């Protein structure tokens, strides 16, 4: 899996806006893909995704 693209539709994550929460040691980003999936990235790697509605 390419950590720089949505695992559901392949959209490049660099083209999505992000909100971020910064835990003590890692960066956690949540981004919404154009396909509707929410993606969770830890230190830039996709670690989770929701299904599209």
**Rounded-to-integer distance, Cα 39 and Cα 27, Å:** 14
- Write out the chain's pLDDT in tens, 53 residues: 566 888 888 888 778 765 544 445 778 888 888 888 999 988 888 888 887 65
> Alpha-carbon distance 17 to 43, whole Å?
16
Please give the pLDDT value at position 21. Answer: 47
Print burial letters for 6-23: b (CB count within 10 Å at least 16), e (below 16).
beeeebebeeeeeeeeee
For residue 15, what pLDDT is reported?
Answer: 81
Q: What are the start-end ranges of the E strands in the chain?
A: 19-21, 28-32, 38-42, 45-49
Measure the CA–CA gap between 35 and 42, rounded to whole angstroms.
20
């Amino acid at each position: 899996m390419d950590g720089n693209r949505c695992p559901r539709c392949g959209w490049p994550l660099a083209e999505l806006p992000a909100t971020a929460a910064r835990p003590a040691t890692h960066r956690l980003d949540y981004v919404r893909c154009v396909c509707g999936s929410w993606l969770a990235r830890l230190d830039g790697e996709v670690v989770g995704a929701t299904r599209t509605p």
